[in-house]
Chain A
Amino acid sequence: MKARLFHLWCLSCTTGLVVCLTFFIGFIINRGVPALSLSLFFGDADPIKGLLGLEPIWDGIWPACVGTMTVVACALSLALLPGLATGIWLATSAASRFKTILALCIDILAGIPSILMGLFGFTLILFLRNWLLPSANTCLLLSALCLAMLIIPYLAVATRTALQALPASLEITALSLGMTRWQTLRVVLLPQASKGIIGGIMLAMGRAAEDTAVIMLTGAVANAGLPGGVFSRYEALPFTIFYYSAQYQSNSELQMAFGAALTLLCLTAAIFSIAGLLQRTPPWRS
């Protein structure tokens, strides 16, 4: 009897979830697809000129798309080496006090709410203005730095998991053949673990692309045109959606918000599916 009720509960939960999800995502797709057009991206500017940056684009989400991609690329370039290095170090170094502390730090960093990174970024700018660099301002670089701090745990954990999944014999054999630590990593371990690591990189990219709280406080604005360098303010897709959904002046602006939501959804769905494909169990795990 209890088992039957449980069975019913499981079935209803799953169907309920599927229904809810189709409802919400279907709504976005329903309202977003009619908005998809060249004018969604480029407004009333000429597409070719807008793409080349010859003409400023107003009422179009192309600057936001470029802004998001730029900030994600910058964040990834800042976070890649430290994140991978932390993962490699955690997976391959001997146990020590520092190692436990670092592992704890990575776990804590993974759990911190993203808005605290934004708060940190903003106070960093104020601190710099008062003491070191009076012309510092909220900008793309600051957002990239805060996003990098947000995604380092993802990179570290993915690298560590991928390396720990490798059979220990690989490293031992390589070292016993006389390879140095760096050669072992470069030639043997990292290529074998590359699938998992790239999956982790894609996860980090997806996370950086969708986060709103951090960029809201550190340099994303509602209107800025194409990003004019790393030391200027910029537009970003999640912030554009947030801004226009709360305050649309006309129906066309609302349509823009839905179009932007659909674009962001497709972007993150693509990134996460590739990540999922890459992170499936490696072939030697039976």
Chain B
Amino acid sequence: MTSPITTERVLLALVSIVFALMMLLFGFLFWFALPVFFNTETPVLSLIWQPEQGQYGILSMIAGSGLIGLMALTLAFPVAVGITGFCLFSRYQNIASWIRRMIRLMAGIPTVVYGLAAVFLLVPLLRETFRSCSGFCLLAAAVMVVLLILPVMVMMLDTHCRPLENQIRLASASMGFTDTQTVLYLVLPNSTKAMATAALLGFSRAIGDTILPLMLAGNAPQLTDSVFDSVRTLTAHIGLVLATENGSAAYNSLFAAGLLLLAMSVTVTLLIRKMEHAQFNARRGDAE
């Protein structure tokens, strides 16, 4: 007697709940955001954000998000490679295990705590060093976001490079390579896909963070080319305007911002997946 409640059906039911929630999320955003993009009287893809004058352009916010993401990535990537390299050197094995533990703990530090420390340490430092800056600027936010995305990138690179280094350590030592040379000339050049994945992961985490840009970047809705100027990111914009909601047109611009964020993160996720599949297939090809 087969009961109608089989494991398979229960699992499928629960799985479809997850699927349905995701579709709901996408659906809401699309439903509310698409009309905003096609509204020609208050264009949302313009550079001016002045709700009192009826201007709801969020282009400067997109630039803000992109700038923070790119700047954090450019600063964090070399540092991540450096730390991974350090952990791979055989002469530092015991310290390396402590560094790895520290990195894992770092991944758990709440972003608010980073923000709090930065407001009292980094912002006055920047303000006094660079006289033209108010301290709340792109640089402050980018530096803290670097601390945020470093664990993600280091753990990603480490997961890939450590087995590789274990494999070739004896062979390369027998050929006369020092451990530095092994890492620099053998391990890293073979980890380009992992490095690209780590970069993408870091970038997506950087543009997705809300609290650090909200607390540190100044939130001025302007397009700027100086790192010492105040910028607003899409995430901070949503947090600021939703928590201080004004009216229907400003509110709709939030959905446009949300949709753009979603588009950016989905693109990055798809790229990462593609890269991982290519890497998996390449590994399988090597093994055969």
Complex Cα gap A70–B263 (Å):
33
Q: Which residues of A contact B265 (CB under 8 A)?
A: 108, 111-113
Residue of A nearest to B178 (CB): A3
How many interface contacts (CB-CB < 8 Å) are there between A and B? 218
Complex Cα gap A212–B188 (Å):
37
User: Which of A177-210 touch B at CB < 8 Å?
Assistant: 180-182, 185, 206, 209-210
Q: Which residues of B contact A117 (CB under 8 A)?
A: 25
Residue of B nearest to A272 (CB): B108
User: Which of B159-218 touch A at CB < 8 Å?
Assistant: 178, 180-181, 183-185, 204, 207-211, 215
Complex Cα gap A2–B29 (Å):
50
User: Which of B112-138 touch A at CB < 8 Å?
Assistant: 112-121
Contact between A25 and B109, CB atoms less than 8 A apart:
yes
Contact between B120 and A104, CB atoms less than 8 A apart:
no
Q: Which of B2-10, B43-51, B52-60, B221-229 contacts A (4 or more CB under 8 A)?
A: B2-10
Given contacts A3-B181, A102-B19, A114-B208, contact A217 B86 (CB under 8 A): no
What's the least CB distance linking A114 to chain B, in Å?
7
Q: Mark A98-135, 1 if CB is under 8 A from B, else 0.
A: 00001011111111111111111011100100000000
Q: Which residues of A contact B258 (CB under 8 A)?
A: 115-116, 119
Q: How large is the interface on B (under 10, 10 to 19, 20 to 34, 35 or more residues)?
A: 35 or more
Contact between B86 and A11, CB atoms less than 8 A apart:
yes
Contact between B104 and A276, CB atoms less than 8 A apart:
yes
Contact between A113 and B108, CB atoms less than 8 A apart:
no
Contact between B82 and A10, CB atoms less than 8 A apart:
yes
> Is A85 an interface residue when CB atoms closer than 8 A count as contact?
yes
Contact between A10 and B215, CB atoms less than 8 A apart:
no
Complex Cα gap A241–B111 (Å):
11
Contact between A113 and B211, CB atoms less than 8 A apart:
no
> Is A33 an interface residue when CB atoms closer than 8 A count as contact?
no
Q: Which residues of A contact B273 (CB under 8 A)?
A: 104, 107
> Is B64 an interface residue when CB atoms closer than 8 A count as contact?
no
Selected A-B contacts with CB under 8 Å, 25 pairs: A2-B184, A10-B83, A24-B147, A25-B113, A82-B17, A107-B272, A108-B269, A112-B25, A113-B209, A115-B210, A115-B238, A118-B242, A120-B29, A124-B28, A152-B18, A181-B6, A182-B6, A185-B7, A206-B108, A210-B112, A245-B112, A261-B112, A261-B113, A271-B108, A276-B101
Q: A13-B86, A180-B7, A276-B101 are in contact. List 19 more A-B contacts (CB 8 A).
A: A2-B184, A9-B82, A13-B83, A14-B82, A16-B79, A17-B79, A24-B147, A27-B120, A28-B117, A85-B11, A110-B269, A111-B204, A115-B208, A182-B7, A212-B211, A217-B239, A261-B116, A268-B108, A276-B105
